[in-house]
A and B are shown apart, each in its own frame.
Chain A
Amino acid sequence: MSDFRAEVREWIAANLPDSIRTPMPEEEIPWGGRNASFPNPQSRQWLEAMIAKGWTAPTWPAAYGGGGLDAAQAMILQEELERANARPALFSFGLWMLGPVLLEYGTEEQKQRFLPPIVRGEIRWCQGYSEPGAGSDLASLRTRAEDKGGHWLVNGQKVWTTYADKADWIFALVRTDPAAPKHQGISFLLIDLRTPGVSVRPIELISGSSPFCETFFDDVKVPKENMVGPLNGGWTIAKKLLQYERQNVSAVGFGGDRSVRIEDLAKQAVGEVDGRIADGALRNRIARHNLYDRAVDLTTRRSQIDTDSGSVGALTSVVKYASAKANQARGELAVELLGLDGLGWSGGNFDPRDLAETRKWLRSKGNSIEGGTSEINLNVISKRVLGLPD
């Protein structure tokens, strides 16, 4: 065992609280932010310990609060955390999406100002990309930012802004040159959601949950220094960030919880013979699903190693497409196995676990839409990876 691995293993043993070694219920997900809540106080303790090491952002430079690890060390840390069944210390769009972009495109001042609060989970970020008229064709976005000399004046509407109702700041794409071709008039702007003129409304989904919001900007004044990258140069940054996003929506398994195993649902549905799913055809389908799912997990990990070594590559869209497919297949299997018990909406005559499966199934339908639709990802693969012509 390498010295580093031994050191990490020892540190985890000494610092990982017992309750943080168990599967994480959704309400205990540590999102951080100004209004951070810790229903389990040990989540806070674990977060603080990880922050002190810089290991919420293991590969970021120590100067910005990160761990300063190289890719191999980060891999070892990740393996040891998994080995100990440690929950992630911090869930954060700042860590997963904005941070890597700031490291690449931000000014020194922007890095000093924004990165440390991300590492420490003090500021919760959300993403302002899509608009009612700009979904898959994101570059047709219309939210305006006008140069008023001392500040930008922002007007428009964003949609699918995940957790905007709980976030502190938003990183947004805005149109700064309406006359330019659509990809060349976009800039990347950081906006404090407490600024007057910003309002947020949650959107209710078919699953009944509402992680997404609409975010409105009505004469919102944003300081000039909050633009990342060059004026009208936002599209390059946007694309890079989308790759990080695709990787991360799939890496967190779309919040898919693996605590209920699909093979156990199958055993309940058709019974067991000698501990095995009684129906051979069903058993084969379940095994094939699990094999595919495991292949997706291994590919997600491969793609994360790519990211740690500084390249976001061809695998991003592969992982995004395949993990959506796997999670949706799981949802359909679960509901099929539960039969009508899997089609209740609420109430005491349904098992709460079955109700949760129903909601997960419905929620999974968004997996092939959010963070770039499956169709867009197939476009990216065929054009950018395989090089097929327009």
Chain B
Amino acid sequence: MTVSADDLQMLEDTARLWVRENAPARAGLGRDPALGPAQWRAAAEMGWAAAAVPEEAGGAGFGFTGLGALLGEIGREIADMPLLANGIAAALVARHGSDKARADILPGLLGGQLRAALAIGEGAHHGSALATTARQQDGGWVLEGRKSWVAGGADADVLLVAARGDRPMLFLADGKAVKVEAIDSVDGRAFAHVLLDGVAVAEDALLVGNGDLVAHATGLARIGLAAEMVGAGERALEIIVDYLKTREQFGRKIGSFQALQHRAALMLVDLELARSCVQAALAAADEEREDLEELAILAKYMAGEAIHLISTEMVQMHGGIGMTAEHVAGNYIKWARVSEALLGGNALLAERYATIRGY
């Protein structure tokens, strides 16, 4: 399942215009008041949530590479939209869901009428620890635990929950069956803690496949997030470079100073390294390769390195204006740090990489 280079370019161009027009990055503190269900409905009508699902399962057949391109465009404007969760949940349900889940839930996920959330990470470090439990009862399962920082958790109709039974398992849970605590996060995105207080789900809510599906879903989510992060880094660097080309001090454009030029060049180096990793990881997801988890770690790690540097420099290179709430730089650095920490920060990712690689 691959998307041609031309189709990918067209998808990206269309998405760029649409996101810039309908969900642009903005300055100011708190949640973006202009973003709401309307934008999501419109994006879903364009088929974005169906991007990674094959055509024979009712999807658009653009693969994860196509979904990654769309996420990159959303990331450019750091727009808080549930595409990552819906896109990945749809792909997982299409591939691993029960007949009932594919009949009842998949169409809503594909069309965006059902909003999904990925309830995977736990605790302050969103690491690979999995304390949420699943135990069998009355021919179904009971889920017990607490998920932290679930993007879109408060508004979700369907949650994809990672839990530990006799092995790591993935379940679909009804959004109305869980308790949510909305979080006022530094970056204003809509996160929530999700409390699973003895949530009963049917046997057909379980996703079934070879290998560790929790690791697989975590990998896909990390790749999707990394795609958004590279998009955000790309846009942030454009804004920085524009400023360097226009701002004058000492009678010259500050972008003519070599000290600043080299720092800008180093940002591009990190960004391009991260982009290569994200592309490779998206391709690995499309090819269902066994080293998906490694490549997902690599992609999120390098995207984290790039966006950490770029967002920090974005504030510094704008000088005083970059510190004010009137400028968009503050929103990029906040969005960056939250994204870096979600699903495991770089220290944790490096440790996990060493484990997989046998050292």
A residues neighboring B (CB under 8 Å): 263, 266-267, 275-277, 280, 283-284, 286-288, 290-292, 294-296, 298-299, 301-302, 314-315, 318, 321-322, 375, 377-379, 381-383, 385-390
Contacts and interface: CB of A to CB of B under 8 A. Distances in A.
Interface residues on B, range: 35 or more
Given A378-B262, A386-B241, A388-B241, A291 B359 contact: no
Contacts of B258: 379
B316 interface: no
A79 to B, nearest CB: 12
A10 to B, nearest CB: 22
Contacts of B358: 263, 275
Contact of B354 (A284, A295, A302, A388): A284
23 contacts: A263-B354, A266-B359, A276-B355, A283-B354, A287-B351, A288-B350, A290-B357, A291-B297, A294-B298, A296-B273, A298-B277, A302-B276, A302-B279, A318-B269, A318-B272, A322-B273, A379-B265, A386-B261, A386-B268, A388-B241, A388-B256, A389-B245, A389-B255
B35 interface: no
Nearest to B253: A389
B129 interface: no
Contacts of B103: none
Contacts of B272: 299, 314-315, 318
A104 to B, nearest CB: 24
A284 B359 CA distance: 10
Interface string B314-357: 00000000000000000000000000000000110011011101
Contacts of B297: 291
A125 B241 CA distance: 41
B302 interface: yes
Interface in B235-285: 241, 244-245, 253, 255-256, 258, 260-262, 264-266, 268-269, 272-274, 276-277, 279-280
Given A298-B277, A298-B280, A322-B273, A388 B255 contact: yes
B62 interface: no
Given A283-B354, A284-B351, A288-B350, A388 B244 contact: yes
Contact of A276 (B264, B273, B359): B359
B141 interface: no
A301 B351 CA distance: 26
Given A299-B276, A378-B265, A389-B256, A277 B354 contact: yes
Nearest to B301: A291
Contact of A298 (B276, B354, B355): B276
B261 A378 contact: yes
**Closest 3 CB pairs between A and B?**
A382-B261, A381-B265, A287-B350
Nearest to A319: B272
A387 B357 contact: no
B245 A388 contact: yes
A226 B280 CA distance: 44
A71 B255 CA distance: 37
A287 B268 contact: no
A275 B269 CA distance: 34
A386 B357 contact: no
Given A291-B297, A389-B255, 19 more contacts: A263-B354, A263-B359, A266-B359, A267-B359, A275-B358, A276-B359, A277-B359, A283-B359, A286-B354, A287-B357, A294-B298, A298-B279, A318-B269, A375-B262, A381-B268, A383-B261, A386-B261, A386-B268, A387-B241
Contacts, number: 113
A390 B256 CA distance: 5
A101 B34 CA distance: 54
B264 A283 contact: no
Interface of B: 241, 244-245, 253, 255-256, 258, 260-262, 264-266, 268-269, 272-274, 276-277, 279-280, 297-298, 301-302, 305, 346-347, 350-351, 353-355, 357-359
Contacts of B266: 378
Contacts of B305: 292
Contacts of B354: 263, 276-277, 283-284, 286-287
Contacts of B298: 291, 294-295
B264 A382 contact: yes
A70 to B, nearest CB: 14
A382 B262 contact: yes
Contact of B353 (A290, A379, A385, A390): A290
A295 B359 contact: no
B250 to A, nearest CB: 14
A318 B355 CA distance: 29
A284 B347 contact: yes
A25 B279 CA distance: 33
A171 to B, nearest CB: 29
Given A287-B351, A389-B245, A389-B256, A292 B273 contact: yes
Contacts of B302: 291-292, 295
A269 to B, nearest CB: 12
Contacts of B269: 318, 321-322, 381
Contact of B351 (A283, A314, A321, A388): A283
Contacts of A322: 269, 273
A295 B350 CA distance: 13
B253 to A, nearest CB: 5
Contact of A295 (B273, B346, B351): B273
A286 B357 CA distance: 11
Contacts of B351: 280, 283-284, 287
Given A379-B261, A382-B265, A295 B276 contact: yes
Most chain A CB atoms below 10 A, which of B262, B297, B347: B262
A383 B258 CA distance: 10
Contact of A387 (B245, B301, B353): B245
Contacts of A298: 273, 276-277, 279-280
Contacts of B359: 263, 266-267, 275-277, 283, 286-287
